[in-house]
Amino acid sequence: MNPYESSISSVADTTYAGRRWPTVLGAVACLYYGASALSLPFANAIWLGEIPLLATVQVPKSFLKSVVHDGLLCVVHALGLSSGSASPDYSATHGWAMLVMVAAPALLIVFVLGFWSHGQVRTRLVAAVLLLATLDALVTFWFDSSYSLELYNASYF
């Protein structure tokens, strides 16, 4: 094999890898949303000392909610809509922060898949991500409203 053919093969391999990352992103998102939705109802079942093991899957969502919630609280104060006390402001923005927490990552992933991937694989991945993200959002809102284990009230800052 001559060196010219080797360089063409190398370019073709990197082009394939460049086209493959949206598929990997979609598959990882589907795995995360599926694991999150399936483990959340049992989050309070298995503990290792003070740590609910199945709840550790929720840490990325909890962190994102904390960031969004802090931002919403800043907006409430900046607009003069604050009640003057932290607790009512926190309660008033909790639902909005939860909505952004579950919707924003899924919509960002769908945008990336729609923009960078093509064909039937894109359609299937977008549908799978939307389906699993919706299932996870429904389970998350149900869990937040019906369980005493407060996974989404942490403040990381």
Number of structural domains in the chain? 1
Q: Does some domain include residue 68?
A: yes
What's the Cα-to-Cα distance from 84 to each of 75, 91, 96, 130, 154, rounded to whole Å? 14, 13, 19, 39, 21
Does the residue 100 lie in any domain? yes
The C-alpha torsion from 122 through 114 and 56 to 93, rounded to 10°, is: -150
Measured between alpha carbons, how far is residue 4 from residues 1, 9, 13, 16, 46 in Å? 8, 9, 14, 19, 58
Residue 2 included in any domain: no
pLDDT at 22 over 80: yes
Is there a domain that residue 113 lies in? yes
Main-chain phi, psi angles of 48, to 5 degrees: -120, 95
Q: What is the pLDDT of residue 139?
A: 95
Q: Is residue 132 part of a domain?
A: yes
Q: Cα(46)–Cα(81) distance, rounded to whole angstroms?
A: 41
Q: Within a domain: residue 6?
A: no
User: Residues 50-86: pLDDT tens digits?
Assistant: 888 988 999 999 999 999 999 999 999 999 888 887 7
Question: Does the residue 36 lie in any domain?
Answer: yes
Q: Please give the model's pTM, rounded to 2 decimal places.
A: 0.80
Residue 89 within a domain: yes
For residue 129, the enclosing domain spans 21-146
27-51 tens-digit pLDDT: 999 999 999 999 999 988 889 988 8
